[in-house]
Each structure stands twice: as structure tokens, then as C-alpha cells.
Amino acid sequence: MVTLTVFTPVYNRAHTLPRTYESLCIQDCKDFKWLIIDDGSTDGVESLIREWQKKDNGFEIQYIYKENGGMHTARNLAYEKADTCLNVIIDSDDWIERNCVSLVVQKFNETGLDSVWFKADYWLEAENRKAPMDFNMYFYNMPEGYLTLNETNLGSLPLITWNKAYRRNFLMKHGLDWPEKIIYEDVEFYWKAFTKTRQIYLLDKCLYFYRQRAGSIMQSSRGDLEKSRTASAGKFKGGLAGDGEIETKYHTCTHLLNAALKVVVGPDVHQ
């Protein structure tokens, strides 16, 4: 059995998924499989994937179709179906560097930790070029090495999931899944994961390309983000009940959640 599952939720992304596929085909380590969860696409993406499955890619492509239910349902189904030791997300319009798999697997083997993080660059679609993910230069400039998550640094770390790989048994042990009916579901997932792990390994390499395009979720209105922040904070507080180690730090953690969102959307996040 291979070591890593790369999983991709997809909905009507036949025009962007080939770039993701191409980046997997050129990986210098093929110790992975690609799990695609199709969330009810109607643009013919299934035919595209079926053609790829017929090729000698050097890795398995597993395709699962489901009725449309939203990205959180696709991600949760991927976690349910993934049967490898490690997993990582690639969104359906993004791609990774050719040494991403090899470096991630290597660091898990070396460190024995539950999570390995790496850095990312934007791909500016309108300008056809890459650019630093400069919304968080604190994280972008951090050196490689072990990182202990604490009240001092957590508010300055990126609330995203596609630059973080996890051990499957860690996710299963703590019942980590994606919240329903909330924009920026990455935020709540991140905070739940924080309560369960305190140390990660950070690779000081940009291994992921995030396609920046007009109309993406990252470009959504600040009002929608504020509603999601409030919902996430409430669920986070509820999740801390019974966790003696973290419960007393709720107010600190919600303060850090606000601080992190301020990094993403600007100083008027509270307005």
C-alpha cells in the first residue's frame, strides 16, 4: 500500500483540473494515490478523469461521484475513504511542485509528528505569474524546523488546510471533520486540530500554487467572513468543553482567531 493520499474535491472544474493532474504526473516520488471526490459535477469532468485512469500514471486514481452537498461533504467523504497513513489536500484549481510528495513523506518519516506544513505561492491567473503569498509574511518568512503551536504564534499562522498534511490515525482518533453550512470551513477545522496537536514540522519551501482568480471564496465579502468567524468561534468554544488542558484558554484562542482573520481581510474585520 502507498503511504499518502492526495485528495481533491471537485465541482465543475474540468477546465482547471488538468493542471492539478499534470503536477501529480511529474512528482519525483509516486508513493501516493489520488482520490477525487466529485461533488455532483455537470461539466463532463468525470469523462476526463476516466481517461486519465486508463493511462500509466505511476499512481492510482480513485474516483468517487456523489450528489452535490458542498465542499465540506466532499472533504469528509475523502477522509472516510482514504486508507493510507498520510493525507493532504489539493484543491481542484491548484497544483504542487514536483518534489512535494517526496519532501512531505520524508519529514513524516523523520519526525514521527502528526502534521507537516509547507509554504505556498499565489498563481495570479489574470497576470499568468506566481507571486508570494504575502497576506501573511510572518509565516512566509519563518525558517524551516519544528514549530510549537502556542498562544503567542497561533494568531499569526495561516488558517488554511491545503498547506498541511496529516496522519490519518490522528484525524480519526480525534474525530476531526469539516463543519457544515459555513464559509471558510478551514478556520474551524484548523482550530479543532490545534487543540489536539502542539508541534508540527514546517518545510521552508513553497510547494503549493494557489490559483488566485476573481470570484473565488478568498475574494468573498467581508460580511460573509464575519458571519463565519462568529459561527466558528461558537463551535470552537463548544468543542473545548471537557478538554481540561485547553478549556481555560478559550478567551485567548478566540482573540487569536480574530487576530488571524485580521491578517487575512484587514483591520476592519470587527466592523
pLDDT of residue 252: 46
Looking at every residue in the chain, the average pLDDT score rounds to 83
pLDDT of residue 108: 98
Instruction: Give the model confidence (pLDDT) of 141-151 as tens digits.
Output: 999 999 998 87
Highest mean pLDDT among 136-140, 163-167, 195-199: 163-167
Residue 263: pLDDT band with limits 50, 70, 90: very low
Instruction: Give the model confidence (pLDDT) of 97-108 as tens digits.
Output: 999 999 999 999
For a pLDDT cut of 90, what percent of the chain falls above it? 56
Give the pairing of strands 199-212 and 145-148: antiparallel
Angstrom distance (rounded) from CA 5 to CA 116: 14
Query: Rounded to 5 degrees, what are φ and ψ at 20?
Result: -60, -50
pLDDT of residue 181: 67
| Most distant CA pair in the chain, distance | 54
Residue 155: pLDDT band with limits 50, 70, 90: confident
- Under DSSP, is residue 81 helix (H, G, I), strand (E, B) or coil? helix
Q: Compute how many other C-beta atoms are within 10 angstroms of the C-beta atom of residue 140.
A: 16
Q: Compute how many other C-beta atoms are within 10 angstroms of the C-beta atom of residue 147.
A: 19
**71 vs 57, higher pLDDT:** 57
Query: Rounded to 5 degrees, what are φ and ψ at 164?
Result: -135, 125
